[in-house]
């Protein structure tokens, strides 16, 4: 079963969109394996965004993610990374397709509500960065045969 990390960023939490967005993932058939509300430290932010270090927008990314609470989620399901990325939509909310999370709720490039892992390798790295193994739960919902087939 594939897992992905989803971060509902401070703008999402402040705008009270958490429930609406988690609902979309659950409606699609992904299931929660972990969830916690965190005030992101500068150190965690630097680790998470290390790939962007040296880019012109790096400092503003860090400043934004530490500016308020973030809801960290681990979702699991069939092709969880690709499914979540499709539901999230393009990075620039103004260009994201209607029906996607960013297309429906975001206008900004940086303050775009949500982060989702972009590959299975990055998902594994990010999940391990944000969650201890004992904070994750795996279970088999009774409706799985109807959602993912057999």
Grade residue 140 by pLDDT with cuts at 50, 70 and 90. Answer: confident
All residues at 6 or more sequence positions from 108 whose CB lies less than 8 Å from its CB, including other chains: 11, 92, 93, 94
The closest of 65, 72, 49 to 131, measured between CA atoms, is 72
Alpha-carbon distance of 1 to 87, in angstroms, equals 19
Alpha-carbon distance of 111 to 40, in angstroms, equals 15
Which residue among the candidates 14, 52, 86, 115 is catalytic per the annotation?
115
Contact 66, 56 (CB under 8 A): no
pLDDT tens digits along 43-60: 999 999 999 999 999 999
Mean pLDDT, the chain, rounded, equals 94
Task: Read off the pTM.
Answer: 0.92
Specify the CATH architecture of the domain 2-133: 2-Layer Sandwich (3.30)
Helices (H) and strands (E) in the chain, counts: 8, 4
User: Is-catalytic flag, 52?
Assistant: no
* Phi, psi torsion values for 20, nearest 5 degrees: -60, -40
What's the average model confidence in pLDDT over 8-22?
Answer: 97
Domain extent listing, the chain: 2-133
What's the average model confidence in pLDDT over 30-39?
Answer: 97
Q: Give the per-residue pLDDT at 149.
A: 66
């Amino acid at each position: 079963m594939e897992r992905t990390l989803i971060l509902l960023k401070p703008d999402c939490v402040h705008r009270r969109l958490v429930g609406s967005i988690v609902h979309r993932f659950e409606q699609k058939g992904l299931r929660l394996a972990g969830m916690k509300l965190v005030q992101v430290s500068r150190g965690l932010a630097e680790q998470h965004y290390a790939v962007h270090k040296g880019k012109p927008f790096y400092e503003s990314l860090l400043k934004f993610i530490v500016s308020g609470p973030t809801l960290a989620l681990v979702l699991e399901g069939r092709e969880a990374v690709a499914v979540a990325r499709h539901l999230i939509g393009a990075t620039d909310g103004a260009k994201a397709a209607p029906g996607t999370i960013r297309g429906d709720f975001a206008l900004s490039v940086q303050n775009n509500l949500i982060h989702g892992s972009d590959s299975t390798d990055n998902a594994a790295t990010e999940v391990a960065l944000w969650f201890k193994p004992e904070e994750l739960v795996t279970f088999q919902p009774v409706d799985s045969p109807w959602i993912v087939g057999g």
